[in-house]
């Protein structure tokens, strides 16, 4: 695959990198040191204080939302691999769009359609920032790469941005060939072991939520959950409004699908 040439525009402070990138052509990117109105999935606030890395990449898009379903997971896989190659240990994914070190969230991914033929991939990473100072509720849940084993090996910001954009381009190319199905085996090696989770469900399902042991995802992207009677059930992605981890499951063998 010919390596795409990215046009990168950097700003010290922005409202959101997504907003600035929305009208740009494919293979453009916006980066910032701080966002004043950062947001995550389902319009949740994403604290974006100074010292983090905030990036939006603009990608070509064929216009089919069903074909693009699950692309955020492919981006997560690519970003995690980049951080691991940079020497950061213990980085894992949390379904559907979080990057974790242990029990703490160090990053998030937001994928949105921009124009009719472009897709926005937003990435926020806690590098040396301290989001819990802006929101004390994050003190027990947020982490940063600087505190992770190997975090001191991260390359300078410009080089890290270049590596991340390269990884996003690779994920885009591979996803175009295999869709989510081709990523499932690799993704199921990135969750960091089985964990007890609670799924909050959309109102249309008729249930508030369900708990069980997260057991990866299936070929179509559905969540595999082992409930307390030992049965494994599948829950469609569009039936889930939120996944939260309850505690590390007592048994953490390799995931199997």
| pLDDT value of position 42 | 63
Kindly tell me if the per-residue pLDDT of 1 is higher than 70. Answer: no
Q: pLDDT grade, residue 80 (50/70/90)?
A: very high
| pLDDT value of position 250 | 45
| pLDDT value of position 124 | 96
* pLDDT tens readout for residues 174-218: 999 999 999 999 999 999 988 999 999 988 877 788 999 999 999
| pLDDT value of position 38 | 81
| pLDDT value of position 54 | 96
Kindly tell me if the per-residue pLDDT of 256 is higher than 90. Answer: no
CA distances from 197 to 27, 78, 105, 183, 248 (A): 37, 24, 15, 22, 9
User: Domains of the chain (ranges plus CATH)?
Assistant: 7-187 (3.30.930.10), 195-248 (2.30.30.100)
User: Which percentage of the chain shows pLDDT scores above 90?
Assistant: 76
Rounded to whole angstroms, the Cα distance separating 27 from 228 reads 46
Kindly tell me if the per-residue pLDDT of 84 is higher than 70. Answer: yes
Kindly tell me if the per-residue pLDDT of 154 is higher than 50. Answer: yes
Q: What is the mean pLDDT of residues 81-92?
A: 95
Q: What is the mean pLDDT of residues 144-159?
A: 94
Q: What is the mean pLDDT of residues 152-173?
A: 96
* pLDDT tens readout for residues 225-242: 999 999 999 999 999 999
| pLDDT value of position 205 | 73
Q: What is the mean pLDDT of residues 107-128?
A: 94
Report the predicted TM-score, pTM, of the whole model to 2 decimal places.
0.91
């Amino acid at each position: 695959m010919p390596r795409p040439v990215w046009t990168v525009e950097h700003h010290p402070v922005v409202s959101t990198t997504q907003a600035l990138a929305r009208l740009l052509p494919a293979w453009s990117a916006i980066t910032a040191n701080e966002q004043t109105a950062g947001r995550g999935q389902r319009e949740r606030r994403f604290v974006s204080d100074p010292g983090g890395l905030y990036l939006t990449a603009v990608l070509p898009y064929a216009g089919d939302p069903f074909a693009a379903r699950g692309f955020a997971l492919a981006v997560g896989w690519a970003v995690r691999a980049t951080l691991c190659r940079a020497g950061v240990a213990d980085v894992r994914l949390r379904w559907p769009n979080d990057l974790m070190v242990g029990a703490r969230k160090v990053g998030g991914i937001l994928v949105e359609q921009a124009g009719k033929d472009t897709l926005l991939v937003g990435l926020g990473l806690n590098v040396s920032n301290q989001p819990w100072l802006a929101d004390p509720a994050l003190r027990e849940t947020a982490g940063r790469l600087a505190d992770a084993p190997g975090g001191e090996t991260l390359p300078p910001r410009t080089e890290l941005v270049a590596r991340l954009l390269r990884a996003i381009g690779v994920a885009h190319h591979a996803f175009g060939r295999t869709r989510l199905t081709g990523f499932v085996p690799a993704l199921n090696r990135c969750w960091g072991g089985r964990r007890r989770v609670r799924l909050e469900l959309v109102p249309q399902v008729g249930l508030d939520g369900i708990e069980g042991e997260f057991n990866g995802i299936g070929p179509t992207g559905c969540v595999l959950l082992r409930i307390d009677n030992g049965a494994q059930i599948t829950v469609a992605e569009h039936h889930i409004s939120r996944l939260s981890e309850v505690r590390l499951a007592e048994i953490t063998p390799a995931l199997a699908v």
